[in-house]
Structure 1
Amino acid sequence: MKILIATGIYPPDIGGPAHYAHSLKEALEGKGYEVAVVRYTIEKRLPTGIRHLVSLVKLLSASDEEQCIIALDTFSMGIPALAVAKFLNKRLVVRVGGDFLWEHYVERTRERITLPAFYRAMPELSRKERMIFRLTKLLLSSADEVVFSTAWQRDIFLDPYEIRRHRTSVIGNAFVRHFAPTNVSEKKFLWAGRAIFLKNVDALRNAFDRVRAKRPDVSLEISGAVPHHELMEKIGSAYAVIIPSLSEVSPNFALEAIACGKPVIVTAETGIAEQIADAALLIDPLDVDDIANKILLLLDDAEYARKAEAARTISIVHTYDEIADEFIEVCKKPL
């Protein structure tokens, strides 16, 4: 079987989705499958619509012999991939990682609304957002299989996007053990990611201002997107990782911190809350006091020792080899 991966970003681009796409390709090839990748290049600088047309042409030219197309996002590559899959009668598997519609709405309005709340009572959308919603609904209701990284997001999406449950799968993100220093003297918390509104960094800064009034020895490092190896080095030198986002479906940053034996403070609005609960403190992202109080709690030596030990011994293992096997199973699933 030949597989085509359609992705918006891919190395040398940096970030979690690029690392995921590359690691999935390598794992599939390691199992003897022929894998081609179509990614954004000049499309990043083009307006919506034209960008999709360019991607469609690239996908058409690359899809001759491929039997399964795996689209690693919805709006950017998923829509062109759907058109190509229907035209050439190819199997289409769409992986839903985040939510472009909710992200676009939050960035435009600066409204502090969580992902579940957004879909419980969808607010008034702009014309572009209504288009995004309609096209995403068409994609997810038409794809042969929709893959989610958590059951939490699947349950949120099923009704609004009219997805048939029997055509969905859950393939969790990778969790691979790393070795990191266990004795870090500096009380430095680490945040890393894209500087967008839903990441809730202003609330994080406000919380740390309150914490420093009681604990002036505490510091916060805010890092933009960096290459994966550099991010792992930053995690290794940190006291803990903190993720106060309005919502996070399945934050690789949290999983990688725990894989390094580091405790995390993470939004309660996440699909991996139960999975990582022993090694994490969950916060209400809309409550600055709660964020500050959980930081202070993790600064307690006994609490930190408990969470760090849980992080070092947590029984999660999910390799890219296993992820590749799960995608192969989905690609071979009867229609």
Structure 2
Amino acid sequence: MAILARKIKVEKPKILISTPLFPPQAGGPATYSKILFEYLPGRGFEVSLAKFSSISFLPKLLSHLAYFLLVVLKSIGADIVYAQDPVSVGLPSLLAARILGKRFFLKIVGDYAWEQGVQRAGITDSLDVFSKRSEGYPLLVAVLKRVQCFVASRAERVVVPSRYLKNIVSNWGIAEERIVVIYNAAEQVKVLDSKESLRKRFSWSGPILASAGRFVPWKGFDGLLRVFPRLLESYREARLVLIGDGPDRARLESLAARLGISGKVFFTGRLPRKEALEHIQASDVFVLNSSYEGFSHQLLEVLSLSVPTVATDAGGNAEIVEDGKSGLLVPPGESGPLLEAILKVLENRRLSAKLSRCGKERAKEFGGERMLDAITKLLFS
């Protein structure tokens, strides 16, 4: 029978961070876990890691069993287990914590059931609708919804990186007072080469638009491709650079061909972080055309590079970008406002310079110290 977790006051709490990703892998959980691993020891914690990536080479069912055993072993000496998603690492981490009587905290950065439903089960509901609806979904999606709700409901506290996600998780039936908003930190990134030298290295000329992310439906790459021919009417030398990879890549390349813009659109594939940032640094406008974002760590990185940014006001984007100051916000799924915003940045040098300057300053507001102060206070509570 599970032993209920109890709050243990110790001088130097031991925390186990269970995470699906860790550098050199890319992604928000990897970056966040790395920051905690490196900086929490300076705030009075002993920190250890349980990385799902360390056993992901195993067959699927076997890898989940192996990960559960890994978390159990690493939890024995821990006081707190802090899981970085509610399903793949969250469920085994919760079970291990309950068995061993450890405090359990959970980080949620998105709705995994919805994401899988959109990719694999043809779900067309928006996330806001999906988070409130409990019936009528395929078995896989229904199971994933139950799992993430089960894990979240049994966490001592659920940490989310935006007010938007707090609303989503509260729609699952989790009490609002148990959901804590702690904004993710932005690492201040610096590309050593200048924009001009990078463009020379890449043999780029003319206006360059960049976008990056996983090629999945809600990232809006198809909408950006459909807008691009209209941009070419004003800027014939413009190019669109798409950084990343994913299940939609073949479909997006086919769409570019049908639109007759294949020679103007460059799919870089997945790049190491430094190279991806160099491509973004060399661009004139960065576009985030997503219809859903819990909290975009990538958006913070782009702002810190002083690259003028156009983003949708979907999800947590509006909590990062101050429209007209640190970036331009447009409604998701609307091509007219998206094109208009891109043209504004390209045509108005004063506006472009303002967005660059204010974007960099805005990114600094999401500092690591503030995030670490908040998580330290929460875990010591």
- TM-score norm. by structure 1 comes to 0.90
Shift of 1:270: 2.3
Residue of structure 2 aligned with 1:318, choices 358, 362, 366: 366
- Report the residue type matching 1:248 in the other structure: E
Match of 1:266, SS?
Answer: strand
* Structure 1 unaligned spans of 5+: none
Task: State the Cα deviation string for residues 216-254 of structure 1 (Å, max 9, x = none).
Answer: 132111111433323322222121211111211111111
**Residue matched to 2:174:** 163
SS, match of residue 48 in structure 2: strand
Matched residue SS, 1:58? helix
Secondary structure of 2:105's counterpart equals strand
Q: Is the 8 A contact 1:189 1:219 kept in 2?
A: yes
Query: How far apart, CA to CA, are the structure 1 residues paired with 2:46 and 2:271?
Result: 30
Find out whether 1:43 has 2:65 as its counterpart. Answer: no
Answering whether residue 311 of structure 2 is matched by residue 258 of structure 1, we say no
Q: Does 1:149 align with 2:161?
A: yes
Q: 1:226 to 1:22 in 2, by over 3 A?
A: farther
Q: 1:202 aligns with which of 222, 229, 240?
A: 222
The offset of 1:39, in angstroms, is 0.9
Q: 1:123 to 1:255 in 2, by over 3 A?
A: farther
1:81 paired residue among 93, 115, 118: 93
| Alpha-carbon distance between aligned partners in 1 of 2:36 and 2:50, rounded to the nearest angstrom | 14
The equivalent residue for 1:292 is 339
Which stretches in structure 2 are left out of the alignment for 5+ residues? 1-12, 200-204, 245-269
State the partner residue of 2:351: 303
TM-superposed deviation, 1:144 = 0.6
Give the distance between the partners of 2:223 and 2:73, measured in 1 at CA. 46
Cα distance 1:244–1:238, how it changes in 2: closer, same or farther (>3 A)? same
TM-superposed deviation, 1:58: 0.6
Counterpart mapping for 1:89-238 below 5 A: 89-109=101-121, 113-120=125-132, 124-159=136-171, 161-179=172-190, 181=194, 186-224=206-244, 225-238=270-283
Q: Distance in 2 between matches of 1:17 and 1:300?
A: 37
Structure 2 Cα separation of the partners of residues 300 and 122 of structure 1: 47
Task: Report the more deviating stretch, 260-269 or 301-310.
Answer: 301-310
Highest CA radius of gyration, 1 or 2?
2
Verify the 8 A CA contact 1:107 1:198 in the aligned structure 2. Answer: no
Displacement of 1:163 after TM fit?
A: 1.0
Aligned partner of 1:12 in structure 2 is 24
Q: How many residues align?
A: 331
Go from structure 1 to structure 2 and tell me whether the alpha carbon gap of 1:313 and 1:60 turns closer, same or farther (over 3 Å shift): closer
**Aligned with 1:25 (options 34, 37, 52):** 37
| One-letter amino acid of the counterpart of residue 89, structure 2 | M
